């Protein structure tokens, strides 16, 4: 397996990591089998999160079975204040059956207000730093779908890693990744097949790994065949041929007509709808076969897609000219 250094953490990790979203769909025995297989294939990096259902728990069973020393574990919490983050750290340690977590990340910081909150005197970062001093976590990272937030994080230069979407459809983070690499900040790529929209998975993963600024890519896996095919990319990496590049970029072009890149330029919605998040959750429904989970998440939203009054302001801001009003109707039809 090709290994890369995760920035200033100096951790040597597999270029292909284990994305923990879909494992929540399997039972304990299958989860253990999957983690065992990942180890056999040379994968040593696992990324999960509090909000991924039973993912932390199921991964914990697999890690316990295969040996903690074989894994670099990353998880994340969406909490923004000190007390809530402190509780989540303890919860993650317990569920993942470990005394320490290699990388604990602030999960999906979406707005400047949220960023200011986590950085405040009683913010989540304080809890993470405290746990780091206690040896409960080794390194601190941040994830977002907003380039502006990642830019602020790099400006502050306190995070060991950043995590952001990147694939043949979504390459807007290329310059940010270059900056992060020069700052010795690890780069973790999520959404490597655009939430399941990209059909040519192997070509997409190879496209991503061509970028030397990227430390690891974390495709979601809940079947042995997924682990075998994804790990094979890292175990026998080959750059794309010109013909293969044309194929994957052609597919990316096709997806471009009604595909949300989550750039956030459509915001703010006058009705308070978080438009990109509506499409993210719909992707779990349509592409990851997490229908019940997606509907449950959608039900928690304060403002849902059906609250759109079709003012069209969002569409005037979208750099990709997406028919957002029509797409929001589809979201509510699927999830409402």
> What secondary structure does DSSP assign to 64-91, as a single string?
HHH-GGG-EEEEEE---BHHHHHHHHHH
Angle at 182 between CA 2 and CA 201, to 5 degrees: 40
pLDDT exceeds 70 at position 276: yes
Question: What digits encode the pLDDT tens for the residues 148-166?
Answer: 999 999 999 999 999 999 9
Task: Give the separation between CA 137 and CA 116, rounded to whole angstroms.
Answer: 22
Question: How many angstroms separate the Cα of 106 from the Cα of each of 78, 102, 201, 202, 234?
Answer: 6, 14, 28, 29, 27
Residue pair 15/4 in contact (Cβ under 8 Å)? The answer is yes
pLDDT exceeds 70 at position 66: yes
Q: Which of 139, 146, 73, 78 is nearest to 106 (CA)?
A: 78
pLDDT band at 43 (very low <50, low <70, confident <90, very high): very high
pLDDT exceeds 70 at position 273: yes
**What residues contact residue 189 under an 8 Å CB cut-off, 6+ apart?**
163, 164, 165, 166, 167, 208, 214, 216, 217, 218
Q: Which of 129, 66, 76 is nearest to 106 (CA)?
A: 76
Give residue limits of the domains in the chain: 3-247, 275-335
Q: Tell me what pLDDT residue 253 has.
A: 86
Residue pair 196/222 in contact (Cβ under 8 Å)? The answer is no
pLDDT band at 257 (very low <50, low <70, confident <90, very high): low
240-245 average pLDDT score: 97
Task: Give the separation between CA 189 and CA 13, rounded to whole angstroms.
Answer: 13
Question: What digits encode the pLDDT tens for the residues 296-316?
Answer: 999 999 999 999 999 999 999
Q: Give the fold, CATH level 3, of 3-247.
A: TIM Barrel (3.20.20)
pLDDT exceeds 90 at position 245: yes
213-239 average pLDDT score: 96
Structure tokens of 254? 């096709």
pLDDT exceeds 80 at position 133: yes
Q: Tell me what pLDDT residue 203 has.
A: 98
Structure tokens of 336? 């409402």
Q: Tell me what pLDDT residue 258 has.
A: 78
249-262 average pLDDT score: 81
**What residues contact residue 206 under an 8 Å CB cut-off, 6+ apart?**
233, 237, 238, 239, 240, 244
Mean pLDDT value across the chain: 94
Q: Tell me what pLDDT residue 217 has.
A: 98
pLDDT exceeds 90 at position 112: yes
Angle between helices 28-40 and 55-66 (to 10 degrees): 50
Q: Tell me what pLDDT residue 52 has.
A: 92
pLDDT band at 2 (very low <50, low <70, confident <90, very high): very high
The greatest distance separating any two alpha carbons of the chain, rounded to the nearest whole angstrom, comes to: 55
Task: Give the separation between CA 222 and CA 21, rounded to whole angstroms.
Answer: 9
What pTM does this model have? 0.83
pLDDT band at 117 (very low <50, low <70, confident <90, very high): very high
């Amino acid at each position: 397996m090709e290994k890369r250094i995760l920035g200033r953490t100096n951790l040597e990790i597999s270029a292909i990591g284990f994305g923990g979203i879909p494992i929540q769909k399997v039972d304990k025995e299958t989860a253990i089998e999957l983690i065992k297989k990942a180890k056999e294939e040379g994968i040593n990096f696992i990324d999960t999160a509090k909000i991924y259902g039973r993912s932390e728990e199921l991964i914990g069973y697999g890690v316990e079975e295969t040996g903690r020393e074989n894994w670099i574990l990353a998880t994340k919490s969406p909490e923004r204040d000190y007390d809530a983050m402190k509780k989540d750290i303890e919860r993650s340690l317990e569920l993942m059956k470990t005394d320490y977590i290699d990388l604990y990340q602030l999960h999906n910081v979406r707005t400047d207000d949220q960023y200011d909150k986590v950085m405040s005197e009683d913010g989540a970062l304080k809890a993470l730093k405290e746990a780091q001093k206690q040896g409960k976590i080794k390194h601190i990272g941040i994830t977002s779908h907003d380039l502006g937030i990642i830019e602020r994080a790099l400006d502050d230069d306190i995070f060991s890693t950043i995590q952001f979407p990147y694939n043949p459809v979504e390459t807007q983070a290329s310059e940010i990744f270059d900056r992060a690499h020069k700052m010795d900040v690890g780069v973790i790529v999520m959404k490597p097949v655009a939430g399941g929209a990209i059909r040519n998975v192997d070509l997409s993963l190879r496209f991503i790994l061509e970028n030397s600024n990227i430390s690891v890519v974390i495709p979601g896996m809940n079947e042995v065949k997924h682990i075998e095919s994804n790990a094979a990319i890292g175990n026998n990496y080959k750059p794309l041929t010109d013909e293969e590049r044309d194929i994957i970029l052609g597919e990316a072009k096709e997806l471009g007509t009604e595909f949300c890149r989550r750039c956030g330029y459509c915001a703010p919605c006058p009705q308070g709808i978080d438009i990109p998040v509506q499409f993210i959750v719909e992707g779990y429904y349509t592409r990851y076969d997490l229908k019940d989970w997606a509907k449950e998440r959608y039900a928690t939203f304060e403002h849902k897609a059906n609250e759109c009054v079709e003012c069209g302001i969002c569409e005037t801001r979208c750099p990709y000219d997406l028919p957002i009003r029509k797409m929001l109707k589809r979201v509510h039809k699927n999830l409402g």
